[in-house]
Chains A and B, each alone.
Chain A
């Protein structure tokens, strides 16, 4: 799934720390042309077409990808198309097992030099990737190739834009949506054409469904939804413009909005109208499977799962699947849904030719044709306006409107630091802190406001210690 995360393994953390240390050492000793910190848009010669001209044999680059199998097959097909379409670049697609493992392997690669030319990393690793100082910001290539980003969705670009420089190119982007069973809505006397639009509606609907003998809400305990709720209310998660103008130094989500979201979650769980499952583990799909079994009538999950969810649930006669935007905390959202998913990063350690070749490949994957194929084949959001307007996508959306929901979410609302999404070093650990706070609320009856405050305090400690480790 899109946002699976670390079961914070101590040894892995140690490895990561060692890798970061080594990276810091090696980059300070080497005389690299790009300065550290990410804002480097120095000379455009680092990544330009010139590096590829006059070569007789193709440049082979390694690309570490992290997609689950079905999506991986679509990516393989795209890569094959690219390899056959030209003679300058040959891409060797390396299937890693998951986002977490790719990130671990990447960190390990910093110690022994076994790094890919292009790597697909998930959103939460963004600050971590910049902090390895082993990344060539793609801004260099955008400048060197005079690449126009005008057609790409601004918010998707914004997530991977730090210090006013594009660090990586968005590729597999999705958003959280509400899956619901129209048949159950009907049986409970709810209008299947009017799924809950706000969290207050969600609580009401879940209670009504329960009271009518239907299943309630399958609530995956995934802080991603909490973060998204904040963004829809135009609230940042961390300071320094959500970690974008400078490194985030503290969490700021213990505000009325944060408390409100926690209160709704608490009401859902403690009234018995929502059942919970973890976002990582054997029960990771229980919210969606529960819709199939009738245990639940609603579930919130990533839009990237849409294809498989539809495929699975179509086999259950009791389910008539509907897809709706994520219910928001405000009746009229002042913000918007932030992008989530993964981006493509170029390694600084690769040769100039390999970097230019990597960019050619990335530009291919983000082209209109590729984004059309990718979105239609997987359920990810088409990242180009032109791809969204293509006849393929338009046909898909008219026959299967669920596929349009996440795109509409990502393109509506305002563009701000809040809707660009948060960037911080210890993202996974902060998420664990939020999970712990939610658990303390559900299990021990801690008051929502207290729970949010506890999560923020814990997050602050994590952010401080990470920043100290990084040395800034």
Chain B
């Protein structure tokens, strides 16, 4: 990615050329494009919209055919019920702590490891990097039994360290950031060295700011996967609610009875809100980092 991308906002797209025929053509294309995008957006958002609608329906409306597309008499009580009966405040707090630790940990370890792979020379560098990459091929579920006994023997069962430590390092993050670091021109590094910058100074003042889109992408990615974890938090939490995360609380709410469908959906909507906020805030970085590197 171009280094300037992070420092300056990208310039607005140039205004369309002023020649009338081409302009009409362009407008048509624009209309077409927006129409297609709108259709796509409706398709993608529809399930979420229906979840919100259904969460606001009274039990007497839930079975209606065809399903109501708009809640005429919204029952906000379902949200209150989900919040209080589902203990969502506790679960959301636990999830927030767990996710923050994992995101911060992954960013720090990935930055340091990626820096080593990108800028340092040491024996077996290529081999080690391949080993890092190989961890990408092993699904977490394969190591779950050994991780579980390790965590328990360390006395971390039902604690935040137990929830988070196995996820503090990631081969994916290291790979992603290494690629970003490699695109930093060597001249910059040499210039920094001439100015007397040590490794850490160069890392924090030059490399990290330049790799910000990649860092944001990694942050969002690890946030999503940490927030949505289910199996590990289920297995590693114990006989009380002290560290159980929101996905487990949600499952508890969803595994419910027929007359409570609206409450389950209300809980689901509540649990999705933090993700939506995150996506809205970091959308630009996310999109930019996904497309960066596509064209060199």
The chain A residues found within 8 Å of chain B, CB to CB, are: 4, 10-12, 14-15, 18-19, 22, 62, 68-71, 92, 94-95, 97-98, 101, 104-105, 108, 111-114, 116, 285, 288-295, 305, 307-309, 311-312, 315-316
Contact = CB atoms under 8 A, between A and B. Distances in A.
A89 B141 CA distance: 38
B68 to A, nearest CB: 11
Contacts of B258: 285, 288-289, 305, 308-309, 312
A111 B148 contact: yes
A307 B85 CA distance: 19
A19 B234 contact: no
A172 B142 CA distance: 34
Among B63, B65, B251, max chain A CB count under 10 A is at B63
Interface stretch (B169-177, B188-196, B221-229, B235-243): B235-243
14 contacts: A10-B141, A12-B231, A62-B239, A97-B248, A98-B251, A108-B144, A108-B235, A285-B258, A288-B258, A293-B63, A293-B65, A305-B257, A307-B257, A309-B258
Nearest to A284: B258
A285 B261 contact: yes
B59 interface: yes
Nearest to B253: A69
Nearest to B240: A94
A11 B231 contact: yes
Contacts of A18: 145
Given A62-B239, A308-B258, 14 more contacts: A14-B141, A68-B256, A68-B257, A69-B253, A101-B251, A111-B148, A112-B148, A114-B157, A289-B62, A292-B63, A308-B260, A309-B258, A311-B59, A315-B58
A69 B152 contact: no
Given A15-B145, A98-B251, A114 B65 contact: no
A308 B65 contact: no
B263 to A, nearest CB: 9
Q: Specify the main secondary structure of chain B where it touches its partner.
A: helix
A275 to B, nearest CB: 12
A341 to B, nearest CB: 15
A94, A111, A295 interface centre (most CB from chain B within 10 Å): A111
Contacts of B153: 112
Interface in B141-195: 141-142, 144-145, 148-149, 151-153, 157
Interface in B223-278: 231, 234-235, 238-240, 248, 251-253, 255-261
A16 B63 CA distance: 38
B63 A112 contact: no
Chain B interface size range: 35 or more
Given A112-B157, A312-B59, A97 B259 contact: no
Nearest to B250: A97
Given A68-B257, A308-B258, A14 B142 contact: yes
Nearest to B86: A69
B232 to A, nearest CB: 10
Contacts of B63: 289-293, 312, 316
A109 B187 CA distance: 55
A70 B257 contact: yes
Nearest to B63: A292
A289 B248 CA distance: 26
Contacts of B19: none
A309 B62 CA distance: 13
A12 B144 CA distance: 10
With most chain A CB atoms within 10 A of its CB, the pick from B139, B148, B248, B261 is B148
B152 A11 contact: no
